[in-house]
């Protein structure tokens, strides 16, 4: 733990004359960026983290003793382009509305993973990205129409790096990178054009390798094609060669990481296999980002949500601090928004509160392989810019018996007594 941060926070708490708008009282605060893992109060004022310390008071005080308090989660792989009206499409009915799924799982920021391409990105912005309470970002797909159908992702002539780069610069407040996915050809065209777009835009590239072909092996993708800070998503997909016949993680993966290639979980409906993830975690090869690949095909399957996905890595032996780091500050940094994912004084008060349940649990991978566990993270409370936006256990409420007799009535309404009174 960084003693300087704690001492500064406690001094701030003791000297502050004004009260806080919100105090989260007595939780175990885990803030990996600042090296914090301690039982502390968190004070929020004007939508910002105002203090971490002991004995904070004032404003709305919520008792979170026994809970885990973290920065708001950053899910950097979701699909949100639900407004096209296209059936059975990632950029269509398979996408979800962000606010329906974010806050209830502790997520305060999401990055759409290439649902829209350079031809329809502005429609995506107008109909989804600008309308949500969740902090939203997006990767632009190198395919012109993005993930509208699998067919449109197979046309190299519609992959225009210059057009993608122009849009990325025009919408620099939201665009965090370039995406390619589901490419079926044995050629490297989609990857190479995405990387060129990323170079022109000054942004990282996320690659869903799509169809694994012997002509373009995965090891070559991460060893030669991707640049430092580019992202290989669906890292634990069954088709990815992870371990040799002795169960040892292949050296090429360590070499790729050393040269700066990043590995994103992107669990999804069909992209997570215990037989890859378990040996990787046991041998210390943790993912750089834990993400869901949230869509209608994964939300009700083995993936479920961010806390479930995080819990799987906890069950495999990944320390809780590392699980939190790769769900908050690390993905925030990867998508170029290091202002998010931490509880530094003055940072936006995006905060998640979890209960770490103890019991008998079983998690599934994409092929319904079962993994037994003793713990599960459950989201109790979410704060977005200082406002409580998810309150599972009613901590923000007041006992109704202590409220005024006419509470809940709007101006101009009145109660008509029943007959006979």
158 in any annotated domain: yes
Give me the number of domains the chain comprises: 1
**Secondary structure of the chain as H, E, C letters:** CCHHHHHHHHHHHHHCCCCCCEEEEEEEEEEHHHCEEEEEEEEEECCEEEEEECCCCCCEEEECCCCEEEECEEEEEECCCCCCCCCCCCCCCCCCCHHHHCHHHCEEEEEEEEEEECCCHHHHHHHHHCCCCCEEEEEEECECCCCCCCHHHHCHHHECHHHHHHHHHHCCCCEEEEEECCCCCCCCHHHHHHHHHHHHHCCCEEECCCCCECCECHHHHHHHHCCCCCEECCCCCCCCCCECCCCCECHHHHHHHHCCCEEECCCCCCCCCHHHHHHHHHCCCCCCECCCCECCCCCCCCCCCHHHHHHHHHHCCCCHHHHHHCCCHHHHHHCCCCCCCCCCCCCECCEEEEEEEEEEEEEECCCCCEEEEEEEEEEEEEEECCEEEEECCCCCCCCHHHCCCCCCCCCCCCCCCCCCC
Q: Quick one: what percent of the chain has pLDDT higher than 90?
A: 88
222 in any annotated domain: yes
7 in any annotated domain: no
Question: The CATH number of the domain where 319 resides is what?
Answer: 3.20.20.140
16 in any annotated domain: no
pLDDT of residue 14: 45
What are the pLDDT digits (tens) for 144-193? Answer: 999 988 888 889 999 999 999 999 999 999 999 999 999 999 999 999 99
What are the pLDDT digits (tens) for 346-372? Answer: 999 999 999 999 999 999 999 999 999
The torsion angles phi and psi of 98, rounded to 5 degrees, stand at -60, -50
Q: What are the mean pLDDT values of the chain's consecutive 10-residue runs (421 residues total)? A: 46 55 98 98 98 94 98 98 94 96 98 98 98 98 93 91 98 98 94 98 96 94 98 97 96 98 98 98 98 97 98 98 98 98 98 98 97 98 98 96 86 77 54
31 in any annotated domain: no
364 in any annotated domain: no
pLDDT of residue 244: 97
d(CA 360, CA 77): 29
107 in any annotated domain: yes
pLDDT of residue 18: 58
Q: Supply the range of the domain harboring residue 291.
A: 73-340
380 in any annotated domain: no
pLDDT of residue 229: 98
pLDDT of residue 421: 54
Whole-model pTM? Answer: 0.94
pLDDT of residue 15: 38
């Amino acid at each position: 733990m960084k003693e300087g941060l704690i001492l500064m926070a406690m001094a701030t708490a003791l000297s502050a004359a004004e009260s806080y708008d919100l105090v989260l009282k007595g939780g175990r605060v885990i803030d990996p960026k600042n090296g914090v893992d301690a039982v502390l109060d968190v004070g929020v004022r004007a939508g910002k983290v105002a203090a971490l310390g002991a004995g904070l008071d004032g404003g709305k005080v919520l008792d979170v003793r026994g809970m885990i308090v973290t920065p708001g989660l950053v899910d950097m792989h979701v699909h949100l382009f639900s407004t096209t009206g296209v059936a059975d499409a990632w950029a269509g009915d398979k996408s979800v509305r962000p606010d329906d799924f974010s806050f209830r799982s502790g997520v305060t920021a999401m990055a759409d993973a290439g649902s829209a391409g350079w031809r329809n990105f502005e429609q995506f912005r107008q109909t989804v990205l600008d309308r949500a309470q969740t902090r939203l970002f997006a990767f632009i797909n190198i395919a012109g129409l993005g993930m509208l159908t699998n067919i449109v992702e197979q046309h190299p002539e519609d992959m225009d790096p210059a057009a993608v780069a122009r849009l990325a610069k025009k919408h620099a407040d939201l665009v965090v990178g370039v995406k390619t996915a589901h490419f079926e050809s044995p050629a490297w065209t989609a990857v190479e054009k995405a990387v060129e777009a990323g170079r022109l835009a000054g942004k990282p590239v996320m690659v869903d390798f799509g169809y694994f072909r012997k002509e373009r092996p995965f090891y070559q993708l991460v060893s030669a094609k991707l640049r430092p800070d580019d992202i290989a998503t669906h890292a634990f997909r069954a088709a990815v060669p992870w371990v040799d016949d002795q169960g040892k993680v292949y050296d090429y993966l360590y070499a790729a990481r050393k040269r700066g290639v990043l590995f994103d979980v992107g669990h999804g409906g069909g992209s997570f296999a215990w037989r890859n993830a378990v040996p990787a975690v046991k041998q210390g090869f943790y993912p750089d980002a834990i993400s869901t690949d949230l869509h209608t095909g994964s939300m009700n399957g083995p993936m479920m949500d961010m806390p479930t996905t995080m819990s799987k890595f906890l069950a495999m032996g990944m320390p809780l601090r590392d699980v939190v780091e790769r769900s908050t500050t690390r993905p925030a940094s990867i998508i170029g928004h290091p202002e998010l994912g931490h509880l530094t004084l003055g940072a936006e008060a995006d905060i998640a509160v979890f209960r770490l349940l103890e019991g008998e649990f079983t998690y599934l991978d994409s092929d319904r392989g079962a993994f037994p566990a003793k713990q599960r993270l459950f989201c109790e409370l979410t704060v977005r810019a200082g406002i409580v936006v998810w309150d599972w256990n009613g901590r923000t409420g007041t006992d109704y018996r202590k409220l005024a007799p006419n509470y809940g009535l709007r101006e101009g309404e009145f109660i008509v007594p029943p007959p006979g009174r």
